[in-house]
Structure 1
């Protein structure tokens, strides 16, 4: 059985009006139901963001532990310029 606890919160007028409007429209049975649903969605989003951060941290750790030599920004730039030149040349030949 779910355990409930009563809380009292103060909302900005705009949010309070939104809550009342959604309840009056029949989207939710009560203010409590709306707030509970909003908090559930927030909790899910928070967990999803945490998982995304963990994946990013793992990728960073993987990159830091990669034994291959680093590529300098100069080398990356040069490679991109070569790719661009090859693309321009290929398009020129296709025209």
Structure 2
């Protein structure tokens, strides 16, 4: 069983109101649950970002360093990014 560690925190008014709203809505049973789930989500997001950097960004940087002529001009890169995002939006709308 995990042990708990009591903390006292002070939140800006808007964040405290968000926590209260989550509890009042019944989405969470307590303020502790809201904060705990928020921190878990933050940890998962951070881990995902770190994985993306390690698995995608750094290998791309290494490939570019090894072969600078493989670089894509910025206008072309933005076009590829836009096309990719358009495709993702289309896919997400078709699955809903």
Taking structure 2 as the reference length, the TM-score comes to 0.66
- For the pair shown, the structure with the greater C-alpha radius of gyration is 1
4+ residue runs of structure 1 moved beyond 4 angstroms? none
Q: Which residue of 2 aligns with 1:51?
A: 51
Deviations for 1:53-79, whole angstroms, at most 9, x for unmatched residues? 11201111122123xx72699xx7xxx
* Residues 71 and 39 (structure 1), Cα distance of their counterparts in 2 relative to 1, 3 Å cut: closer
Which stretch shows the higher mean deviation, 57-66 or 12-21? Answer: 57-66
Let me know the Cα RMSD of the aligned residues.
Answer: 2.4
Residues 1-95 of structure 1 mapped to structure 2, 5 A cutoff: 1-54=1-54, 55-66=56-67, 70=69
* Residues 17 and 72 (structure 1), Cα distance of their counterparts in 2 relative to 1, 3 Å cut: closer
Number of corresponding residues: 73
Q: Aligned equivalents of 2:10 and 2:46: distance in 1?
A: 23
Q: Aligned equivalents of 2:5 and 2:59: distance in 1?
A: 38
Where structure 1 has 5 or more consecutive residues not aligned to the other structure, the ranges are 81-95
Where structure 2 has 5 or more consecutive residues not aligned to the other structure, the ranges are 77-96
